[in-house]
Amino acid sequence: MGLLSSVLRPRLEATAHCDLPCGVYDPAQARIEAESVKAIQEKYQSNEDPAFRTRAIQIKEERADLVKHHLWVLWTDYFKPPHFEKYPQLHELFNKATKAAGGGADGAKSSMDPQTGQQVLDHIAEISDIFWETKKG
């Protein structure tokens, strides 16, 4: 079995945001998840049911993780050195956006304040503007 598994073992490993490096990137994926985070935070504020609130926290945390995932894919797979040269604020912007989505003290993942969800959306809007500028040229 050792010989067969060594012959069949892949010789090249590739990673991408999906199972096939398709080259399709869009900040809309992060924005949609961030909109979900903010909407859940708002619904949480207007609902006193403990079961609902527990479920809302769980779902919001999952969505916040997805925001970070989609941002990281853009940051690490789409944007290249020429983009970072042209837009030197891009690294800091991604850092702020992922921290705003995360579980730190001011992050949307650990907060039920819709203002934290809005901060994530604001950062994603800035990233989106730059993303679409890079698509023009």
Predicted local distance difference test score (pLDDT) of residue 125: 98
Tokens representing residue 38 in the block: 């903010």
Tokens representing residue 8 in the block: 């069949």
> Is 89 a member of any domain?
yes
For the chain, the domain total comes to 1
Q: Which of 70, 57, 86, 65 is nearest to 30 (CA)?
A: 70
Using a 10 angstrom Cβ sphere, with 0-12 exposed, 13-18 middle and 19 or more buried, the burial of residue 70 is buried
Q: What is the pTM of this model?
A: 0.83
Predicted local distance difference test score (pLDDT) of residue 12: 53
Q: Is-contact 60 41, C-beta < 8 A?
A: yes
Q: pLDDT band for position 15 (50/70/90)?
A: very low
Domain of residue 117: give its range: 26-136
Average pLDDT of every residue of the chain: 90
Q: Which of 87, 69, 85, 7 is nearest to 32 (CA)?
A: 69
Tokens representing residue 79 in the block: 């944007």
- Tens of pLDDT, residues 65-87: 999 999 999 999 999 999 999 99
CATH of the domain at 112: 1.20.120.400
Q: Is-contact 65 88, C-beta < 8 A?
A: no
> Is 50 a member of any domain?
yes
- Tens of pLDDT, residues 85-130: 999 999 999 999 999 999 888 899 999 999 999 999 999 999 999 9
Q: Is-contact 68 101, C-beta < 8 A?
A: yes
